[in-house]
Chain A
Amino acid sequence: MTPRLSRRAALAMAALLALPLPVAAETAPPLRVVTSFAIDSMNPWEDGFWMQEFGQAELLMQFREDGRHHPWLLERLENPEPTRWVMTLRAGLTFQNGKPVDAAAVLAAIEAARAHSASAKGAVPDGAIFAVTGPLELTVTTPAAWPELPGVLADESVFLILDAEAVAAVGEDWGRLVGAGIYTGPFAVTALDSARMEAVAYPGYWQGPPALPGLTLSFVPDPSARILAVQNDEADIALYPPLAARPMVEATPGVHFNIGALGTGGFTGYMNLRQGPLADPALRKAVLRAVDYREIAHDVFRGGLAQATSLYAANLPFALENYRTDLVEAAALLDAAGWVPGTNGTRQKDGTPLTLVLAIYPQQPDLAPLSAAVQAQLARVGIAAEIVSFDGINRALMEPANRWDIAMVSTGAAGWGRVQGFLENYLLPGARRNYGGYDNAEVSALVAELATEADTARRTAILHRIQTILWDEDPYAFSFNIHKGRVVVNDRYACYQPGFALYHISWQTAPCR
């Protein structure tokens, strides 16, 4: 008798075959990725952070789409008391050069980073002590609670787990680290020059053999050239395509514009309180309510960016989701502040028209349509706006001679789930990125409290209060949108989803079936 498939089973099999699932292809050719930024050297303290993005290096913790930190090279991370953390490594980990990854090796990597990396030095509180307390166990003790530790361990710019002994052996002749297998990731670097990086699969990788035999990462600054590379089958994945290219890519056979999950940052607005009309909090409140966050996400960028519902991305557990567009309230606030409609539609006070200067920068091409949209939105409540572009935005905004009212800067308000860095660097008086001269005593006190507050509920309450102040009482920094990952891919990688938190390549990355 001939075996027969039931209709349901046949349909299931057909559906399975139709799904563009990643395939663990032993014969798959190496992946070809084009990206905008060049990796200048193998210097782990300055350029090492790239390595975790493309599958060479790994960290102790990983920040995932649920907005939480999960163990990566760690088996577990425990916080038995506020000033003590215990880190337990997975068993059987090895560097790509075959050396074991034990507690002593991890401690050496951490201490080397603290000695050489500015990011690591800045991330660790004074008095913190890392110590080996078992073959696979490290203990961290601090004078005060250090609630940010999980985020610090997941931050690509802080503690990469590397073979510190091998790194020390090359001095500063970083080129000798090519082929040295100093990291633990699924792909080991075999070549690096100014044009590309090559890496091959590490067969002893702890999660299993990588699905790809290797990858080539080419550095192509021009976004059109990156897209054309995929279109001409010279690359499989193009990173950082501008959203403006999406309609054309979607109309081109054989290439796909894939939008990923919610990120942790976006285009953030900073208001200038040092000069200009935004010293008035009522005017700042009116601006926040005049911005149409829905239109930015859905009409201007056609869903390529997510709508800002708070300072933070909605997937973060402490996001307050207090943003709303309200032109009536904005107009009322402006009226009450004495800005009355003029004959040309622009409001004025004492004969002075209400004109704001929006500051953008050329390195972010998406700021051009965003600033034009915001200009049109502000005009709806009678606020005129001019757009200026500064090359080197961070320096330009801190220069008192430059006139600007709202700076539009791509910022990670909670990069790798860490909130403290943004708050301290952007909101505290005298901080290096406090562009607009914000100085709110309550916010400063809350940020200081947050640094050592270990209780999750209290931390959330503090962050909610800061978000309330920034929206309702003393506005300053606000999100225009929340970023989403995006890539252009060819048919072979049509199922590739942009990596969350810059994890572009994993051991499972593979062509679609």
Chain B
Amino acid sequence: MISATGIDPTAGRHRPPPHLLAALVRHPTGRWGLILTALLLTAAAAGPWFAPHPPNLPDYAAALRPPGPGHWLGTDATGRDQLSRLLDGARRSLGGALVVSAAITLIGLIYGTAAALAGRWVDAAMMRLVDVVLALPGLILAFAVIGLLGPGYVNLLIALIAADWAWKARIARACAQAAVNSPAAEVARHLGVPEWRVVARHILPAVFWPLLVLATLGLGGQIAAISAFSFLGLGVPVPLAEWGAMLAESRFFFRIAPWLLLAPAACIFVSVLAANLLGEALRDLATPEGRS
């Protein structure tokens, strides 16, 4: 079975290459993905120190200034420095996407592996729950969770996790099932290796790597989702910066102050591009064929 991402979850032979970083650097697209990701993560981590102005402090006398000395990316309608807000917002846009991707990977890994190991009716019951969640469109589910919890950044992250974990659990369960019955696991059991060690050495790694590749490929989608929900006012509270929220704030000014639209849009574009380049490279490196 080949999934939409090109990963065969039943093969049970996906392992990271021995020198992952070097392999990524050698990969034609992975190299660029790595560079862009490093730049973005550096900007997000060091943003508060690099920001030339307080990101949330209004300066009404400087409202809607075009890019220039003092405000290299211009100012918004309340005179806040656009560059400072982009740097500050990077932590929420990128950090949120990383948190969501990590959480759904972890939940999917634990849930799917547990189902595969338990087998029989427990496995069946756990997968029926996954079927129920997968039957609901992710967007509708996310809106429903936000409706239940109320708008807010943390609630948005919870909603995105709730909308996306089931798919990862399904993949994890398929990978784990293949790994449980793999020759390596069978041999280990035959040699008397304890079951927890079989799980740790032979099953979890076989599940984790495909999920990691999927998570990286999905990172761009999570960045876009956080931005989209924030655009709708369901993400960060005012006056905090987030790229999608900044896009929403710019919509009334796009003809007289296009820099307000272009800068966060470019950041979202580059982030999604970086995640996709990196994800595709990891997918290629996930199989021996790709590695060669």
List residues 232-271 of chain A with CB under 8 A from any CB of chain B: 242, 244-245, 247-248, 251-252
* Of the residues A252, A362, A376, contact of B255 by C-beta under 8 Å: A252
Distance in Å: Cβ of B57 to nearest Cβ of chain A: 6
Q: Is B48 an interface residue (CB 8 A)?
A: no
Q: Does B287 contact A (CB under 8 A)?
A: no
B221 at the binding interface (Cβ < 8 Å): no
Question: Does B140 belong to the interface (CB within 8 Å)?
Answer: no
Residues of chain A with a CB closer than 8 A to B182's CB = none
Cβ of B251 within 8 Å of any chain A Cβ, yes or no, is yes
Which secondary structure dominates chain B's binding surface? Answer: loop
A248-B253 Cα distance, complex, nearest whole Å: 6
Contact A245 B252 (CB under 8 A): yes
Tell me if A72 counts as interface (CB < 8 A to partner B).
no
Contact of A248 among B57, B239, B256 (CB under 8 A): B256
Q: Is A247 a contact of B58 with CB atoms below 8 Å?
A: no
- CB-CB under 8 A from A295, the residues of chain B are 60
Would you call B60 and A224 a contact (CB within 8 A)?
A: no
* Chain A nearest CB, measured from B36 CB (Å): 32
Assembled-state Cα–Cα distance A190/B109 (Å): 62
Q: How many angstroms from the CA of A387 to the CA of B64 in the assembled complex?
A: 24
Q: Given that A390-B150, A391-B150 are contacting pairs, would A375 and B78 also be in contact in the complex, using a CB cutoff of 8 Å?
A: no
A440 to chain B, nearest CB (A): 32
Given A247-B256, A299-B60, A387-B237: A369 in contact with B151 (beta carbons within 8 A): no
Known contacts A247-B64, A362-B233; decide if A375 and B251 are in contact (CB<8 Å): no
The answer on a CB contact under 8 Å between A376 and B252 is no
Chain A residues near B233 (CB, 8 Å)? 362, 389
**B77 at interface by CB-CB < 8 Å:** yes
Q: Which residues of A contact B255 (CB under 8 A)?
A: 248, 251-252
A373 CA to B237 CA in the complex, in Å?
Answer: 14
Tell me whether chain A's interface is mostly helix, strand or loop, or mixed. Answer: helix
Does A372 sit at the interface, judged by CB under 8 A? Answer: yes
Known A-B contacts A247-B64, A371-B238, A391-B150; A224 and B252 likewise in contact (beta carbons under 8 Å): yes
Chain B nearest CB from A377 CB (Å) reads 9
A248→B252 contact, CB < 8 A: yes
- Would you call B29 an interface residue if the criterion is a C-beta within 8 Å of the partner chain's C-beta atoms? no
- CB closest chain-B residue, reference A252: B255
> Which parts of A188-210 form the interface with B (CB within 8 Å)?
none
B237 touches A389 (CB 8 A): yes
Query: CB distance A368 to B238 under 8 Å?
Result: yes
Per-residue contact bits, chain A 307-328, to B (CB 8 Å; 1 contact, 0 not): 0000000000000000000000
A446 at the interface (CB under 8 A from B): no
Contacts of A170 in B (CB 8 A): none
What is the CA–CA distance of A372 and B55 in the complex, to the nearest angstrom? 12
Q: Mark B55-78, 1 if CB is under 8 A from A, else 0.
A: 011101100100000000000011
Chain A minimum-CB-distance residue to B79: A299
Verify if A144 is at the interface (C-beta below 8 Å from B).
Answer: no
- When chains A and B are docked, how far (Å) is the Cα of A375 from the Cα of B257? 25
Known: A362-B233, A389-B151, A389-B237. A369 touches B77 (CB 8 A): yes
For A227, the closest partner residue in chain B by CB is: B252
A131 on the interface (CB 8 Å rule)?
no
Q: Which of B77, B152, B252, B254 has the most CB of A within 10 A?
A: B252
What residues of chain B lie closer than 8 Å to A376, measured between beta carbons? 56-58
B33 CB to nearest A CB, Å = 35
User: Does any Cβ of B come within 8 Å of A300's Cβ?
Assistant: yes
Mark A385-401 against chain B: 1 for CB-CB distance below 8 A, else 0.
Answer: 01111110000000000
Residue pair B56, A372 in contact (C-beta under 8 Å): yes
Of chain B, the residue at the smallest CB distance from A402 is: B150
What 0/1 pattern do residues 241 to 275 of B give for CB contact below 8 A with A?
Answer: 00000000101111111000000000000000000
CA distance A242 to B249 in the complex (A): 12
CB neighbours (8 Å) of A371 from chain B are: 238-239
A224 CA to B77 CA in the complex, in Å? 17
Cα–Cα, bound, A248→B260 (Å): 13
- The complex places the Cα of A425 from the Cα of B64 at a distance, in Å, of 41
Q: What residues of chain B lie closer than 8 Å to A373, measured between beta carbons?
A: 58, 78
Q: Are A372 and B78 in contact (CB under 8 A)?
A: yes
Q: Given A372-B78, A388-B237, do A247 and B150 touch, yes or no (CB 8 Å)?
A: no
A299 partner residues in chain B, CB cutoff 8 A: 60-61
A-chain residues with CB within 8 Å of residue B152 when the two chains form the complex: 388-389
Whether A247 contacts B60 by the Cβ 8 Å rule is: no
A248–B64 CA distance with the chains assembled, in angstroms: 11
In the assembled complex, 9 residue pairs joining A and B whose CB atoms fall closer than 8 Å, in A order, are A245-B252, A247-B77, A248-B256, A251-B256, A252-B255, A368-B238, A368-B239, A389-B151, A391-B151
Q: Which 7 A-B pairs have the closest CB atoms?
A: A372-B239, A299-B60, A368-B238, A245-B252, A251-B256, A244-B252, A387-B237
Given contacts A300-B60, A369-B238, A375-B56, 4 further A-B contacts (CB under 8 A): A224-B252, A360-B238, A368-B239, A389-B152
